[in-house]
Amino acid sequence: MEIRKLFATPEYNTTSDLALLVIRLVGGTAFMLHGWGKIQNPFTWMGPDAFAPGIFQALAAFSEFGGGLAWILGLLTPLASLGVASTMAVATWFHAIERGDPFVSKGAGGSYELAAIYLCIALVFIALGPGRFSLDRPLFGRR
């Protein structure tokens, strides 16, 4: 498959493209804010007792901050979404399976609802692309 076709955006109606834009802007901004503190200390943000080695912590920090920026811009969206989906799949697994956190926390403590929602959003962008209001459209064309 030609790389250009991988990042080309499908044709949708204006309402659908605007909905994808809003989800990209809100989700991307939230992700950049979540990743900001992590990108400051990318290899050690989980602390000294981390379950993940430093390189995986750095990949997660980059996928959150960089993936958020990519979503906002609509740039290399499928690739950024793959990184986000991978990070959120691990976060969902860690909170749901390893820690046994509830889906929604009813007080103090962890939950996995936010990681699961971000995972779903990333899957939407992998399946549908970023829409026409993105940098992927002028750079890679449409499908």
The domain in which residue 33 lies consists of 26-129
> pLDDT tens, 89-104?
999 998 888 888 888 8
- The answer to whether residue 2 sits within a structural domain is no
Q: Specify whether the CB–CB gap between 91 and 135 falls below 8 A.
A: no
CA distance 137 to 114: 29
Rounded Cα gap, residues 5 and 100, in angstroms: 41
Residue 70 lies in a domain: yes
Domain assignment present for 104? yes
State the total domains in the chain.
Answer: 1
Higher pLDDT, residue 1 or 91: 91
Q: Is residue 78 part of a domain?
A: yes
The Cα-based distances of 18 to 13, 15, 124 in angstroms read 9, 5, 14
Check: CB of residue 117 under 8 Å from CB of residue 95. no
| 3-state DSSP assignment of residue 122 | helix
Asked if residue 39 is part of any domain, the answer here is: yes
Query: Does residue 6 lie in a domain region?
Result: no
Count CA atoms within 13 Å of residue 15 on its CB side.
0
Query: What are the tens digits of pLDDT across the range 64-92?
Result: 999 999 999 999 999 999 999 999 999 99
Amino acid at 75: L
- pLDDT tens-place string over residues 94-143: 888 888 888 888 888 788 899 999 999 999 999 999 999 999 999 998 87
Mean pLDDT computed over 15-42: 96
On whether residue 52 sits in a domain, the answer given is yes
Write down the pLDDT at residue 64: 95
- What is the rounded CA–CA span in Å between residue 121 and residue 129? 11
Residue 8 placed within a domain: no
